Structure 1
Amino acid sequence: MYLTQSLHRAVRQSPDVPFTVFNGRAHTARQTYDVVSRLAGGLRGLGVRKDDRVGLLSLNTDRFCQIALATAWADAAVVPLNTRWSATEHAYAVDDAEASVLFVDDAFLPMVAELRAKAPGLRTLVHCGDAPTPEGLVPLSDLLAAEPVEDAHRQGDAMAGIFYTGGTTGLPKGVMLGHRQLYVTALGTLLHTRLPRGGASILAAPAFHLAGFAFWIVGMMADMTTVPVALFDPVGILRTVQEHRARQTLLVPAMIQAIVSHPEAGAYDLSSLELLAYGASPISETLLTRARAAFPSAQFLQVYGMTELSPSTTLLQDADHDDPVLRRSVGQAAPYARVRIVDEKGTEVPPGTIGEIVAAGDHVMLGYWKKPAETAEAVRDGWMHTGDVGYMDERGYVFVVDRLKDMIVSGGENVYSTEVENVVAKHPAVAQVAVIGLPDDRWGERVHAVVTLAPGATLTLEELSEFCRREIAGYKCPRSLESVDQFPMSGAGKILKRELRASVRSGTGTPARG
């Protein structure tokens, strides 16, 4: 199985059925085949060769899908970039992946000059939006004018893409995933949902995230028309489901919260939706009850995993949501996965015992790009060590109770505290900083900065946020701030974040400001 296979099948079996629909612009399977084969020819003309990396900085659009397919068609690997990153972060990933070609849509044209300056290895920028192409960029029409080329049928463990995830050292890590890894998880998801073929699949979660990218693959495999939504808007999702009689979508709980809380939620016909998959962060029982009432015809599927697991390793099926105990779990191992709970020595522990969640199977990543030491640390004897702490019951249901890594999940986005701390520490008013995640009704978790200040210094949340936004994406910036006289420290001189969290959450710490 491989990324372009669904397109080949669609051309054979339903050539005139829309393959994508975006903002009223429809491309049938036959038309998509022509576009993709010409874009691949255009990439070859730009010097892209076997195993090269092609950057893609785009919102969810039909062109995102076409470019990703064309990259595989040209025997290369796609590098989707987080649309919420700063230019500095984009430049780092482009340089790290050694991508010489980058596609940029309209939303990111203001970044082009800074990208060029900070990513000197970037040879060609291709404009893939609808606005006039700025000077110095190659218009997408140039690539579409190329002669079509034959599909390379890139498959198996050949790298499909590099998907960047937050790094515990403060720099993103490129997760290498092959075609086999991506299709193993898609097949397993289809096995659990058993949806009939056809209909519309709403691509609402950002496609640069592996969750959105993988769900796009699921829709293609089920012969569904992909309907990308460029920017999340509750009414926009409601309208799109009703207009296209959509049968499935994937959302993060923060999106679900925004949709069901919108005053117009009841004004739309959502009866067509048969599957609502969700993941990336926990969902409260209250929100789950409201969501199931808002989407009465949909089966709910929770997926748990990480980018390194392509991206899911356990699935919580719809019927499990009816059980008050099981709905607090992340489900059982997917058909393609082996899941264990292990102690610090890597030995499996008995049911009910807390330990680290590890997973093995054909969905485990190929490794971290250019990071053999980190790969060896993460994948040991074939087992991916997730860094999540949990336990498994006698029936194989996994319950996540904490994280070994200091990762914060805010609105479905992974935020690594070290990365934020590295930026906050640069502020002249900050003497020392620790960043933790705190529960948040809207975002699931919010980024909370605890600082000790330099003598005589003051700092407001607004000042800190403005400072941080110069170097990192807005969602990573602290949403609350607190000043303390001193931190709880270990004997080795490390800040004890567990004690810090307990102090803040119990209200014994200094109240947050801003």
Structure 2
Amino acid sequence: MPEKREDGALPPAVAGSLGETLRLNARHFGRSLGVSAPERTLSHADLYRRGHRIAAGLAALGVDRGQRIAMLAMNCVEMLEIYAAAEISGIAIVPLNFRLSPAEHAVILRDCRPVLLFFEDQYAEMIAGLRGAIDTLAHCIAIGSAPHWAIPFEDFVAGAAEAVDWPPFGDDALACILYTSGTTGAPKGCMHSHRGFRALGALMTAKMGLTASDRGLVTMPLFHMGGKAVQLGLHWSGGEMFIQRGFDPLAVLETIARERITVAHMAPTMIQTLLEHPDFDAFDLSSLRVIFYSAAPMPEPVLRRGLEKLGPVFIQSYGQTEITGTVLPARCHRLDGAEADWRHLTSVGVPPRGVEVRIDGAERAGAPGEVLMRSPAAMTGYWNNPAATRDTMRDGWVRTGDIGLLDEEGFLFLVDRKKDVIISGGENIYSREVENALYAHPEVSEAAVIGVADAQWGEAVCAIIVREPGSSLDAAAVIDHCRTLIAGYKRPRRVEFADALPKLPSGKIDKKALRRMRAAAGPSH
């Protein structure tokens, strides 16, 4: 167990740990902003100091390395403080998806078996119902108003020592367990080490060209790999971080203009919403040099508007909770280049230095197969699930479950999730190809393609479309449009329209939820 320091000084961080990154930021950029939210801010020095104090509080409650703590909150400064405590102490942390149901949280908590849970007061009722079902949970700490059975967060911090001496640990120690979205089954806990997360911070810094002068905006949830990766990059580079509770387009525009934000991370659907905001042109966004987007290639109409309004600031990334992936740099986002430049707009990019990508079973460039990746930032395996780990990780390669292809220049193109491939009349149909054709129609705002049962063909292509405002686009026009772009057997046989499509926290369209919604609605006519 750690020992309390009598001199009041902060002990040195463990070499090679995430805590060491925080210590160096506190030393070199201590007066600069570490994290800012509308309600409060912390300098880099304050963040490091508060992290030590929370870590000391954990030690006083008997929490030790080898155990796990969990955290349930929307983006807030306290999340970064709790992350810092875990990174300093070497205690593994499990951030929870606040959008999950109580039953889904129960499954995850029983799997990771935390001894302590930090939670925001808005989730008190749900946590009260779960406490008895998690036999390892000894302590609950509430951010905000605390129920009688929980410790108030600020009381917990105020009552803790300034710091304690934590025993050394290796950089292969478990830092964090991030649970997958569960789009292809039950959520799995991806284990990430200190070494892997430091490598991810370095990769993010290289991808976005981050420096200590950057001011980054994080709107994606910090329990998700996207938001966490950007946070790690900003910490690795010593940059300043601004966080928002969630995505509010007006608040994003105001923050970029007021704080002179230089880098931002958003999903393509968020970028589209931002560009369509009626007050977009009223804000000075000239400070932006990078908009880092992920989850899916940007629809060309959205990309065109973005380039016209903001210039060549877009960088695309592809990855998963299990592993970071490729990047499509800003210079590849060209609408006036050669045919290859146009084609690369639908690519998810090339692997950065230190990352390898190959297509399983592909004997030539352009042949589709499962995407395999290898990276120093990969997970070390799935928590408490050796069978799934063996299925996914082989000889250092992570099987992504995505179907893709590499062109002659090594650019990666995704065509589908392995489990989303539609087999119609014996032919494989990749939903991404059909969706690209749909997005080429100017009156299509959003589109998703799924397979539905068909008596004649086994499966049929079903397109669910959100129309642009004021559009009267109908099914016949959609099918006629696709006829000019893709083969006949790939065209949608059914076209349905919706006001909105369900989304995951990453901004991706949630096809699992879409299938459930469609099944509940009954057969279409």
TM-score, normalising length from structure 2? 0.76
Structure 1 unaligned blocks of 5 or more: 410-414, 422-433, 444-464, 466-473, 486-508
**1:229–1:334 distance in 2 versus 1, CA, 3 Å:** same
In 1, distance between residues paired with 2:306 and 2:88? Answer: 39
Quickly say closer, same or farther: Cα 1:222–1:435, change in 2 above 3 A.
farther
1:121: Cα distance to partner? 3.0
Is 1:10 equivalent to 2:29 in the alignment? Answer: no
Q: Which shifted more, 72-81 or 178-187? A: 178-187
Measure how far apart 1:282 and its partner are. 3.0
1:504 aligned residue = none
1:120-199 matches, cutoff 5 A = 120-129=135-144, 132-144=145-157, 145-147=159-161, 148-150=163-165, 156-167=171-182, 170-199=185-214
CA distance 1:435–1:119, shift in 2 (3 Å): farther
Is 1:324 the counterpart of 2:339 in the alignment? Answer: no
Structure 2: give runs of 5+ residues left out of the alignment. 1-15, 335-340, 422-430, 433-447, 453-458, 469-500, 502-509
Task: Write out per-residue CA displacement over residues 382-401 of structure 1, whole angstroms, 9 at most, x where no aligned residue.
Answer: 21111111110111101111
Deviation per residue, 1:114-145 (Å, 9 max, x gap): 2224434322111123xx22211111123312
Give the conservation status (yes or no) of the 8 Å contact 2:210–2:233. no
Q: Cα RMSD (Å) of the superposition?
A: 3.2
C-alpha distance in 2, partners of 1:236/1:155?
41
CA distance in 2, matches of 1:305, 1:70: 27
Contact 1:203 1:226 in 2 (8 A): yes
Equivalent residues of 2:205, 2:211 under 8 A apart: no
**Residue type at the aligned position of 2:346:** R
Q: Aligned residue for 1:268?
A: 283
1-side partners of 2:66 and 2:467: how far apart? 41
The Cα of 1:31 is off from its aligned counterpart by 1.7
Q: Partner residue of 1:447?
A: none
Retained in 2: the 8 A contact 1:95–1:122? no
- Could you list the per-position Cα deviations for residues 177-227 of structure 1 after superposition, in whole angstroms to 9, with x for gaps in the alignment? 112222223212322332442242111111110111011011112211211
Secondary structure of the residue aligned to 2:31 is: coil
Conserved? CA contact 2:198–2:236, under 8 Å: no
User: Does residue 348 of structure 2 align to residue 335 of structure 1?
Assistant: no
Q: Which among 377, 396, 403 is matched to residue 389 of structure 1? A: 403
Tell whether 2:495 aligns with 1:481: no
Partners of 1:93 and 1:32 in 2: CA distance: 29
Counterpart contact for 2:332–2:345, Cα < 8 Å:
yes
Equivalent residue for 1:303, pick from 277, 297, 317: 317
- What code does the residue aligned with 1:481 have? R
Q: CA separation in 2, counterparts of 1:435 and 1:365? A: 36
Are residues 280 and 103 of structure 1, via their aligned partners in 2, closer, same or farther at CA, if it must alter by over 3 Å? Answer: same
% identical aligned pairs: 31
Match of 1:206 among 215, 221, 230: 221
Deviations 1:148-191 (A, max 9, x none): 22466655221111100134673211011112222223212322
SS in 2 for 1:332: coil
Distance in 2 between residues matched to 1:189 and 1:233, nearest whole Å: 24
Letter in 2 for 1:4: G
483 and 228 in structure 1: CA distance in 2 versus 1, 3 angstrom threshold: closer
Question: Separation in 2 of the partners of 1:436 and 1:152?
Answer: 58
Is the partner of 1:108 in helix, strand or coil? helix
What one-letter code is carried by the residue in structure 2 that aligns with 1:335? R
- Out of 398-407 and 27-36, give the one that drifted further: 398-407
Measured after TM superposition, the shift of residue 510 of structure 1 is 2.5
Tell me, yes or no, if structure 1 residue 289 matches structure 2 residue 299.
no
Aligned pairs, number:
434
Q: Deviations over 1:277-331 (max 9, x none)?
A: 11112320111112233433x621111011110xx21111001111211111010
1:375 to 2:372 alignment: no
Any idea what the Cα deviations from partners look like across 1:402-436, whole Å, max 9, x if unmatched?
11024999xxxxx9x9xxx9xxxxxxxxxxxx999
Distance in 1, matches of 2:463 and 2:196, equals: 33
Q: Does structure 1 conserve the Cα–Cα contact (< 8 Å) formed by 2:47 and 2:84?
A: no
Give 2:426's aligned residue.
Answer: none
> Structure 2 vs 1, CA of residues 116 and 333 (structure 1 numbering), >3 Å: closer, same or farther?
same
Aligned partner letter, 1:222: S
- What's 2:127 paired with? 112
Counterparts of 1:123 and 1:32, CA distance in 2: 26
| CA distance, structure 1, for counterparts of residue 310 and residue 167 of structure 2 | 41
Give the 3 Å change call, closer, same or farther, for CA 34–185 of structure 1 in structure 2: closer
Partners of 1:382 and 1:364 lie apart in 2 by: 9
1:79 offset after TM fit, Å? 0.3
Give, in whole Å, the separation in 2 of the partners of 1:396 and 1:161: 32
Q: Distance in 2 between matches of 1:249 and 1:152?
A: 37
In 1, Cα distance between the equivalents of 2:82 and 2:367? Answer: 46
SS in 2 for 1:232: coil
Tell me, in whole angstroms, the C-alpha distance in 2 between the residues paired with 1:403 and 1:218. 28
Q: Distance in 2 between matches of 1:223 and 1:483?
A: 49
Do the aligned residues in 1 keep the contact of 2:180 with 2:190 (CA within 8 Å)?
yes
Q: What does residue 503 of structure 1 align with?
A: none
Q: Measured at CA, do residues 196 and 480 of structure 1 come closer, stay the same or move farther in structure 2, by a change above 3 Å? A: same
Partner of 1:27: 42
Relative distance call for 1:367 and 1:271 in structure 2 (3 A) is same
Among 49, 52, 66, the residue aligned to 2:64: 49
3-state SS, counterpart of residue 328 of structure 1: coil
Moved over 4 A (4+): 151-155, 434-443, 474-480, 482-485
DSSP-derived class of the 1:389 partner: strand
- Per-residue deviation, 1:86: 1.0
Q: Contact 1:202–1:249 at 8 Å: present in 2 too? A: yes
Moved more, 287-296 or 45-54: 287-296
TM-score (norm 1): 0.78
